[in-house]
């Protein structure tokens, strides 16, 4: 029930965010000024084409000068339109902080270091294989996720995620987040466990970077020196919202991160608010006797 309530709360926050963004856009963005600039730009372009077609060199030079004079004014208006974006970014970051702080699925996470020192359940020291062990004793049966990140001198160079099933739960959910950065293998010694069994978690970070290139090489591959691997085990609790319909193109029917759920709801709310306000404006014009052009 806690997670259902949190999903509903994130939805409410997303609706509030959509309303706030619309308010900021309406207050800080001067649409009439932008529309006037666009109309002026269109007029100058059309006049230049007519002059060009008539081969009127004098008129073409005059319009080109007008366009040169118009450009600084257009840039000023464009810059003014970008200012609300900074406010929207700050508001978005604030909402994301609230969502992350309230997320109940992270409160019971188990954090541990995977070692490569030959101690505990690590087979051999300094062989590039980092290992950690966790004994299962509680009753949070179902799918557990294990997320690990490799660090080199305190800088994260790779991450990955895997899962295992604890107990008799018939959980068919196999989704895990895709790894990022340099390659790192992450696995458990088996897929299913029972109470009082020990999970052996193994991470094998790449020993060399892929380098970086954009058409031409920017940075060549180099040897990695991963000094530690940090793992976070979900303890059987994680965020999940099953959608009533599959999102086309992306083929997504389940949301696994609260921030994606927040973005989806706020996007739908924004579209809905835009449609409703557009219809209200049209109705207002009709009531005032305005005639819509088709």
Query: What's the CA gap between 175 and 105, in Å, rounded?
Result: 16
pTM of the model: 0.72
DSSP 147: E
**Residue 129 · residue 229 · CB < 8 Å:** no
Query: What's the CA gap between 174 and 244, in Å, rounded?
Result: 19
Query: What's the CA gap between 244 and 253, in Å, rounded?
Result: 7
Query: What's the CA gap between 73 and 56, in Å, rounded?
Result: 26
Q: Count H helices and E strands in the chain, helices first.
A: 4, 13
Residues 6+ apart with CB under 8 A from 126: 116, 117, 118
Quote the percentage of the chain above a pLDDT of 70. Answer: 94
Task: Indicate if the pLDDT at residue 1 is higher than 60.
Answer: no
Query: What's the CA gap between 171 and 262, in Å, rounded?
Result: 25
Task: Indicate if the pLDDT at residue 172 is higher than 80.
Answer: no
Helices (H), ranges, the chain: 2-28, 31-53, 57-102, 258-287
Phi-psi region of 135 (alpha: psi -120 to 50; beta: other; left: phi over 0): beta
Task: Indicate if the pLDDT at residue 294 is higher than 50.
Answer: no
3-state secondary structure of 110: strand
Query: What's the CA gap between 165 and 29, in Å, rounded?
Result: 51
**What does pLDDT average to over the chain?**
87
List pLDDT tens digits, range 198-256.
Answer: 999 999 999 988 877 766 767 788 899 999 999 999 998 889 999 988 888 778 889 99
* Integer CA distances (angstroms), 75 to 5, 38, 89, 216, in order: 47, 12, 22, 34
Count other Cβ atoms within 10 Å, centred on residue 14. 23
**Domain ranges in the chain?**
2-103+255-287, 108-238
């Amino acid at each position: 029930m806690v997670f259902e309530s949190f999903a509903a709360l994130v939805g409410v926050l997303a609706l509030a965010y959509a309303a706030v963004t619309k308010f900021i856009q309406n207050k800080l963005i001067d649409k009439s000024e932008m529309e006037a600039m666009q109309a002026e730009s269109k007029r100058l372009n059309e006049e230049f084409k007519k002059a060009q077609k008539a081969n009127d060199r004098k008129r073409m030079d005059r319009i080109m000068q007008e366009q040169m004079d118009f450009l600084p004014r257009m840039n000023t208006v464009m810059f003014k339109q970008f200012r609300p974006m900074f406010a929207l970014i700050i508001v978005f970051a604030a909402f994301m902080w609230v969502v992350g702080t309230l997320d109940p699925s992270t409160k019971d996470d188990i954090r541990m270091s995977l070692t490569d020192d030959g101690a505990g359940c690590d087979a051999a020291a300094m062989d590039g294989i980092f290992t950690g062990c966790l004994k299962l004793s509680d009753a949070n049966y179902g799918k557990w996720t294990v997320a690990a990140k490799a660090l080199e001198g305190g800088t994260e160079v790779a991450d990955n995620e895997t899962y295992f099933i604890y107990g008799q739960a018939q959980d068919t959910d196999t989704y895990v987040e895709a790894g990022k950065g340099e390659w790192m293998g992450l696995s458990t010694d088996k897929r299913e466990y029972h109470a009082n069994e020990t999970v052996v978690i193994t991470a094998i970070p790449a020993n060399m970077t892929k380098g970086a290139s954009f058409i031409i090489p920017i940075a060549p591959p180099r040897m990695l020196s991963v000094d530690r691997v940090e793992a976070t085990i979900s303890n059987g609790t994680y965020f999940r919202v099953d959608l009533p319909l599959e999102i086309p193109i992306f083929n997504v029917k389940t949301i696994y991160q609260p921030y994606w759920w927040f973005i989806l709801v706020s996007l739908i709310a924004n579209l809905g608010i835009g449609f409703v306000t557009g219809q209200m404006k049209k109705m207002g014009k009709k009531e005032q006797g305005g005639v819509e052009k088709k």
